[in-house]
Amino acid sequence: MVMREIYTSTPAMLLLVIGSYFIGTLIYRRMKTSWFHPVVVGLVLVIAVLSLLHIDYETFHRGSAFIDFLLGPSVVALGYLLYEQMEHLKGHETAVFLATLIGGCIGVTSVILLGYWFGMDERIISSLQPKSVTIPIAISLSKHSGGIPALTTVVVFFCGVLGSIIGPWLLNKCRIKNPIARGLALGSASHGLGTARAIELGALEGAISGLAIGLTGIVTSLLIPLFEWLLR
């Protein structure tokens, strides 16, 4: 009983999350392949430990709430990177805004069209619509639209991991070398995880990717209610 209280305590849960990510980082640097992304490795390790020790999700979530809280400030902190790279952004404001607007429209409409094409329930469609925005915004949009927040969280996480793994490879295959375009693509499609990958590519890519997170969040927050109103 005492041992269980120890390994289900808040310090133990924080140590589990941070330690798993640290191990994932070491493996990622050694393997040098995106398929061993630290988040993916960390996720597998956390699930394995929770399953082995029979720790339920509520206990884990309660113990790791501080890390969950840091998600918001970490996104805001990306503004400093953007401030440092403002000189490179001048003259590209219109292109950045239009790219984000078009990307947001395609992201939402593709989910709606494919959802209706495959005969999905409206709650499922509402849960998938905010797939390309950061989790706090996605959960809020999902709740407001009548979606399933838990499903939205999983989908957003999957999009982030997938984008951070294949995004740079796909951009290279398409011969997209412009750092602003690369940062916009990763940030608008893969939010925080894509931005973390963009920072690895360069400071400008990371800054623009951080900007894309905010712009995509705003655009998606406006588009989803608009499309719902049009489809009534």
Given a contact cutoff of 8 angstroms between Cβ atoms, the answer to whether 20 and 45 are in contact is yes
Residue 220 token pair: 């998606």
CA-CA distance, 209 to 160, in Å (whole number)?
A: 13
CA-CA distance, 154 to 135, in Å (whole number)?
A: 9
CA-CA distance, 104 to 172, in Å (whole number)?
A: 22
Tell whether 56 and 149 lie within a shared domain: no
Tell whether 100 and 15 lie within a shared domain: no
Tell whether 214 and 111 lie within a shared domain: yes
Place of tokens 């490795």: 41
pLDDT at position 22 is 93
Residue 159 token pair: 């999009």
Helices (H) and strands (E) counted in the chain, each on its own, are 12, 0
The answer to the question of residue 69 being in a domain is no
In this prediction the pTM is 0.79
Given a contact cutoff of 8 angstroms between Cβ atoms, the answer to whether 135 and 71 are in contact is yes
The answer to the question of residue 186 being in a domain is yes
**In tens digits, what is the pLDDT along the chain, a chain of 232 residues?**
667 777 778 888 889 999 999 998 899 888 877 778 888 888 899 999 999 988 888 888 888 888 877 877 776 776 776 777 777 777 778 888 888 888 888 888 889 898 889 888 888 988 999 888 888 888 888 888 888 888 898 899 888 888 888 888 899 999 988 888 898 889 888 888 888 888 888 888 888 888 888 888 888 888 888 888 877 6
Tell whether 58 and 149 lie within a shared domain: no
Residue 107 token pair: 């992201």
Tell whether 28 and 133 lie within a shared domain: no
Place of tokens 């009983």: 1
Q: How far is CA 108 from the centre of its chain?
A: 16
The answer to the question of residue 68 being in a domain is no
Tell whether 94 and 58 lie within a shared domain: no
Question: What residue numbers bound the domain in which 56 lies?
Answer: 2-63
- Which of 228, 227, 168 has its CA nearest to residue 196? 168
The answer to the question of residue 73 being in a domain is no
CA-CA distance, 181 to 190, in Å (whole number)?
A: 14
pLDDT at position 10 is 86
SS3 147: coil
Given a contact cutoff of 8 angstroms between Cβ atoms, the answer to whether 208 and 89 are in contact is yes
Tell whether 94 and 175 lie within a shared domain: yes
Tell whether 89 and 59 lie within a shared domain: no
Q: How many domains does the chain have?
A: 2
Place of tokens 């925080």: 192
The answer to the question of residue 72 being in a domain is no
Tell whether 28 and 99 lie within a shared domain: no
